[in-house]
Structure formats: C-alpha cells, structure tokens
Amino acid sequence: MKAVKRVLVVGSGIGGATAAYAMRKAGLDVHCIDIKPETSMAGSGICLLNNTMRALETLGLGKACLEVGMPFSLFREFDSSGQLMRSHPAPPSCGIRRAALACILESAAIEAGAVLEKNLSITDLSDTGHSVEVKFSDGREASYDVVVAADGVYSKLRQKVFGEEFGTKFAGQSVWRFNARLPAEVDGFCLFRAPSGKTLGIFPTSPETCYMFYLENSANPLRIPEGEAHLIIRERLAEFDAPIVRKALDEITGPEQVIFRPLDITLVPEPWHRGRVVLLGDAAHAPTPHMTSGGGMAIEDALVLADCLGGSESVEEALGDYSKRRFTRVKTIYDASLQLCLNEQEDALANKDKSAALLMQTYQYLAQPI
Ligand SMILES: Cc1cc2nc3c(=O)[nH]c(=O)nc-3n(C[C@H](O)[C@H](O)[C@H](O)COP(=O)(O)OP(=O)(O)OC[C@H]3O[C@@H](n4cnc5c(N)ncnc54)[C@H](O)[C@@H]3O)c2cc1C
C-alpha cells in the first residue's frame, strides 16, 4: 500500500510549485500554500541551465519556458567600455523573467489538480509518527502524510523542525539586480569587466528584456539607505561607460526597479527530513548564485522527491532516499559556487582563468543524469 497520499507543500516558489506539480503527476493529493498574497509580477531574471531545462522538459514544461524566455548558448566577455574581448560557446540555457517562470510552474500545478492557496502560512505543526497535524494562519486545521518545507533560504519550518543549527551565513558578497530593454549585443551570458575588478553580468530574459547583476564584496552584510538603491547603483557602476550599461542605468528612475540583497547561504547535511517533514530547494541548500543553479537544484529536488514519494510503501525510506540521491550533487554545486564567490572576493581579475576552469568543470558535472 502507498505510504503517502496527501502532501502539504509550504512555499510556492520555484521549488515548491514544481514539487506540487511533480507530486500531482505522481498521483498524490497536493495542497500548496504561500505566505505572499500573490505571485509577484516584478522581480529579476533567472538563467535556466541545460540540466534545469532537462528537468523541466521531463516534466513537460520546457517548451513553455522557451516560448516566453530567451534561449542562448554563448558566453561573451566585454571590457567596461563595451569592447568585445572574447566569445565562446556556453552550455545551452534559457534566460527567463522570474515572474514568467512562476506563472508557468504555478499554472501547471493548478491545472494538474494541486490546491494552491496564497496569503496563508502555518502557525503550528505536530508530527504524530503517523501523520503531520497542521494549524494554518487562518485558523483551519488539517492532517497530511508528509509536509514539504519549500519556504526558501530563511525557512521558518527548517528553524522549527531542525533547530537554529542550520541557519544561514553571509557569503561576503551582496547582489544588485535590475531589468533593462534587451540590447542587440546581449545574445548570450555577458560579463563586462572593469579594470578595478568589478564585474557586471547581463543575460537575455525574453526577446525584449535582459537582466543585469552586480556582485559587491563586503566583510559584513551591507545595509543601504531605504529608497536610494537606484542612486547607489549608479555610483557603484560609474566606471562602466559601455553605452548599453549607461542606457540601462538611465532607464532606472526609482528604487523599486533595483533589487538589493546580501548573499546568505546554507547547506543542511543529509538527511533532509525529520520524521514526516522534509526540506526542499533553498530551505535545504542555498548556494551563492555564481553557478546560476539554486533554482535548477530546487527543480531537480522536486523531480526526485516526487519519484521517491510516488510509489513508496515507507515514508522514512522514501524521504531518506530523496536526500541520499540529491546530497552529493547539491553539495558539489554549493562548493563550486562558494569557491567562485571567494575567488572574486580575493582578486576577481587574477582568479579569472581559475574561475572559468571551475565553471566549465562544474557545467560538465551538471550534465550528468540525476
Ligand atoms: C542573486 C541571485 C541570482 C540567482 N540566479 C539564479 C539563476 O540564474 N539560476 C538558478 O537556477 N538559480 C538562481 N538563483 C537561486 C534561486 O533563486 C533559488 O535557488 C530558488 O529561488 C529557490 O527556490 P525555492 O522554491 O527553494 O525558494 P524561493 O524561490 O525563495 O521560494 C520560497 C517561497 O516560500 C514562501 N514562503 C516563505 N516563508 C513562508 C511561510 N512561512 N509560509 C508559506 N510560504 C512561505 C515565499 O513567499 C516564497 O514564495 C539565484 C539566487 C540569487 C540570490
């Protein structure tokens, strides 16, 4: 007899929405909740690497991403004035707006029969050994066979069930992100390098848009004055006089157009479950973004968890198998991402070739089947 019939997924981000969809496809009853009142239509872009697209294709969602996103397979390096320095092939990837990806994943989950509720969180849960009894923020109560904590890097559920031990730590960099109109020069993953070592990354997220990001080193998490992100980013990128950068910055007129956040990371050792509560995505493993893989790892987690839970006769075995199948791969990406982050902090220009070699080696690793 199947051990798992009814699952609660807490968090409908990239990992949670994909898990809700994949588990419905595996025949489970899925209830998915998110604390946010609605899916954000703002936000930046995300790069879906080859392995991420492969996982999405397995779920039947690859085509939808390609239709609204922008595929590319080139890596280009420019100097800060916009002169092309070098180009080489990159693994085929798809850039996409985060809001567009969220729509695809959530719609797929709902169409497959998952119940998705926003503006809802849990206030308490207790694992009886046979079920998880959950109290919701709107006063309702319900019982589930398994609860999936997909509530992101600052997971409250991880804190409650695993304790403080596996909290986040600051990685030594903060990230500035903003969207812009797509310039013709940006036909792949582009890095603009300034003599100071500052690097600005850009990739397309649709046939009309691109996403720009800049990583800033600091010993402690940076705090920026409220309402000034759009002014500060101009100062930070002052030495980039490439016309496409200047034009993009000119389009930024308010602080809401710039997303700033410190990079906080975590890696929970396996197993990723305690009793019937299991971690997925950033709640279990949040790498720095240098391998553009955190979302991809969350999507792969969802596929594997659905596979483990779908036909299992033992919750303990299914959840144990899930993190066993995932941990080495996720740790490899976490370690490589952190090393790239540390290389930049030490000396981005001097470590450029070392970082490029690590990136290529890790891309090859990612190409292996999950
Ligand atoms: C700067 C940056 C760039 C990145 N670029 C890439 C990239 O190019 N490619 C890539 O693959 N990855 C990238 N990532 C990583 C990627 O964004 C994350 O790994 C991914 O979003 C993780 O998905 P998730 O579902 O685990 O968490 P999230 O996407 O954070 O979703 C968590 C969800 O849980 C909800 N939630 C939180 N608390 C509660 C609660 N108490 N109750 C209910 N719901 C709750 C939140 O509202 C949210 O919707 C990047 C990350 C950063 C920081």
CA of 295 to the centre of ligand 1 (A): 7
Calpha distance 239→201 (Å, rounded): 14
What is the residue type of 176? Answer: W
> Would the CB of 35 count as within 6 Å of ligand 1?
yes
Ligand 1 pocket test, pick from 9, 18, 35, 233 with the greatest ligand atom count within 8 Å of Cβ, gives 35
Cβ-contact 293, 50 below 8 angstroms: no
Count other C-beta atoms under 10 Å from residue 87's C-beta: 14
> Would the CB of 295 count as within 6 Å of ligand 1?
yes
> Would the CB of 10 count as within 6 Å of ligand 1?
yes
Those residues with Cβ within 8 angstroms of residue 267's Cβ, 6 or more apart along the chain or in another chain: 284, 285, 286, 287, 330, 331, 334
Going by CA atoms, what residue is nearest to atom 7 of ligand 1? 292
Instruction: Give DSSP secondary structure letters for 9-69.
Output: EE--SHHHHHHHHHHHHTT-EEEEE-SSSS--S---EEEE-HHHHHHHHHTT-HHHHHHHS
> Would the CB of 11 count as within 6 Å of ligand 1?
yes
The third-level CATH classification (topology) of the domain covering 6-47+97-168+266-346 is: FAD/NAD(P)-binding domain (3.50.50)
Q: What are the mean pLDDT values of the chain's consecutive 10-residue runs (370 residues total)?
A: 93 98 97 93 88 98 98 96 94 96 98 98 97 98 98 98 94 96 94 93 97 94 92 96 96 94 97 98 98 98 97 94 98 98 94 94 95
Give the atom of ligand 1 at the shortest distance from the alpha carbon of 293.
Answer: 11
Calpha distance 70→208 (Å, rounded): 9
- pLDDT score of 92: 94
Give the atom of ligand 1 at the shortest distance from the alpha carbon of 121.
Answer: 42
Going by CA atoms, what residue is nearest to atom 42 of ligand 1? 121
Going by CA atoms, what residue is nearest to atom 53 of ligand 1? 289
> Would the CB of 292 count as within 6 Å of ligand 1?
yes
R_g of the chain computed on alpha carbons? 21
Give the atom of ligand 1 at the shortest distance from the alpha carbon of 11.
Answer: 34
CA of 359 to the centre of ligand 1 (A): 22
- pLDDT score of 40: 76
